[in-house]
């Protein structure tokens, strides 16, 4: 880390500290939430395709399980650090709590460069990692899921390895699996669906009619492209979209399906017929009603927050708004639906997948979406009410709600032995 400010775990602990004083958190619960319950650090020697053995470093951080089994993704990335994994495990605890699903929070990471590894090498790495942490994961203990550079195939390898070690098939040991192995319908667009449900509920609070409202979507990957689809279904006109290659604008509105089709064919949204190219940073400052940041963290900063004209920001990405930007946006009366709530649709449907697996059931997409809708609306309303009660931003309200729920569980359980 180049500086203390950039340490994600210290940032997570600062959030806990400020929330603790806001809700007058019980000192014992606060003390227990200052560090993860368990940190696993594993050495992963793998035979590479050319025959030589390479040693990789892997982590699984289990932050808190007072509300249920640990839950969280596994990422493969050359820049994985233990502090990053600890921070993500902390935030997963709050995310599961804010949508009121019976999970704690965890996160996993392996320091590797998956872009320069063959499928066979990634499979051997995944199976080795699973075997090394197998005694600490499982349906009632810790349920992994995909994250950066891991996917449903990675989950299939974890499921198979874990099941081979147990001697029987255990589909409920991971979520984010392919449908053929017990994955859930509706999982692929659940993050975006949850994000736009939150944007819709925010619009209700502001008495903003969605028919004819305008929106801009930053990032046109899975979450961004599906967000555009769901906004369009609500009658919102998506006038701008961007990806890593650039940004486009159309006053009359972009057709979400055509935009995605163009991106899939050309590799970028840029050049879509009927659109003009704009500077990517200008997208964030357009005069629109709803802004959906679905790209990288720290997109909205102290430098551009004052120019943001959107009335609602629904954060599909993790950490797209810096704390300094938050303060400016609050002053300008922008309603931000924070990431721990806005993008919790993914973990909510992961929970629904786990429930289906435990009961050996398979629900229709409509059944899944109906349950997701109920969870997200309830979580939005509870967070909004908490923010009003404490007279704070919705981000602070959502954190206060989630941390209080975890602390209540800790106090009720007590300390043993």
Q: How far are the Cα atoms of 4, 224, 322, 416 from residue 95, in angstroms, in the given order?
A: 24, 20, 18, 26
Please return the burial class of 48, using the count of CB atoms within 10 Å of its CB with bins 0-12, 13-18 and 19+.
Answer: middle
d(CA 130, CA 150): 13
Bridge partners of 300, per DSSP, are 321
- Of these residues, 107, 122, 177, 311, which one is catalytic? 107
Residues in the chain: 417
C-alpha to C-alpha distance for 308 and 304, rounded to whole angstroms: 7
Active site residue 107: yes
Question: Judging by beta carbons within 10 Å of its beta carbon (0-12, 13-18, 19+), is residue 81 exposed, middle or buried?
Answer: middle
Q: Which residue has the tokens 């400016």?
A: 328
Residue 23 tokens, joined = 């809700």
Closest alpha carbon to 99 in 12, 171, 191: 191
Catalytic residues: 107
């Amino acid at each position: 880390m180049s500086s203390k400010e950039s340490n994600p775990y210290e940032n997570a602990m600062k959030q806990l500290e400020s929330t603790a004083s806001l809700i007058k958190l019980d000192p014992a619960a606060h003390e227990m939430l200052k560090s993860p319950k368990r940190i696993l650090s594993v050495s992963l020697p793998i035979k590479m395709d050319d025959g030589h053995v390479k040693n990789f470093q892997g982590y699984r951080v289990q932050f808190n399980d007072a509300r249920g089994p640990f839950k969280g993704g596994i990422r493969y990335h050359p820049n994985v650090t233990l502090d990053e994994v600890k921070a993500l495990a902390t935030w997963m605890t709050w995310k599961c709590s804010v949508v009121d699903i019976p999970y704690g929070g965890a996160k996993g990471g392996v320091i590797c460069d998956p872009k320069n590894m063959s499928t066979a090498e990634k499979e051997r790495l995944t199976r080795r990692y699973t075997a090394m942490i197998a005694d600490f994961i499982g349906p009632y203990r810790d349920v992994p899921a995909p994250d950066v550079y891991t996917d449903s195939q990675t989950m299939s390898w974890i499921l198979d390895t874990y099941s081979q070690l147990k001697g029987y098939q255990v589909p409920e040991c991971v979520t984010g699996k392919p449908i053929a192995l017990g994955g859930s319908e509706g999982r692929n667009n659940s993050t975006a669906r949850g994000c736009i449900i939150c944007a819709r509920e925010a619009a209700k609070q502001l008495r903003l009619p969605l028919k004819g409202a305008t929106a801009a979507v930053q990032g046109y990957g899975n979450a961004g492209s599906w967000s555009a689809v769901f906004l369009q279904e609500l009658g919102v006109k998506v006038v701008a979209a961007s990806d890593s290659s650039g940004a486009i604008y159309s006053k009359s509105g972009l057709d979400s399906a055509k935009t995605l089709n163009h991106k899939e064919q050309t590799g970028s949204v840029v050049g879509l017929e009927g659109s003009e190219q704009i500077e990517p940073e200008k997208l964030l400052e357009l005069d629109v009603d709803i802004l959906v940041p679905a790209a990288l963290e720290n997109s909205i900063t102290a430098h551009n927050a004052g120019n943001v004209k959107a009335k609602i920001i629904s954060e599909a990405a993790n950490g797209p708004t810096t704390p300094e930007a938050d303060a400016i946006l609050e002053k300008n009366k922008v309603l931000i639906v924070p990431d721990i709530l806005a993008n919790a649709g993914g973990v909510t449907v992961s929970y629904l997948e786990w429930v289906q697996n435990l009961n050996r059931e398979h629900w229709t997409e409509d059944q899944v979406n109906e349950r997701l809708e109920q969870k997200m609306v309830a979580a939005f309303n509870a967070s909004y009410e908490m923010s009003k009660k404490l007279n704070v931003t919705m981000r602070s309200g959502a954190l206060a709600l989630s941390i209080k729920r975890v602390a209540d569980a800790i106090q009720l359980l007590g300390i043993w032995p």
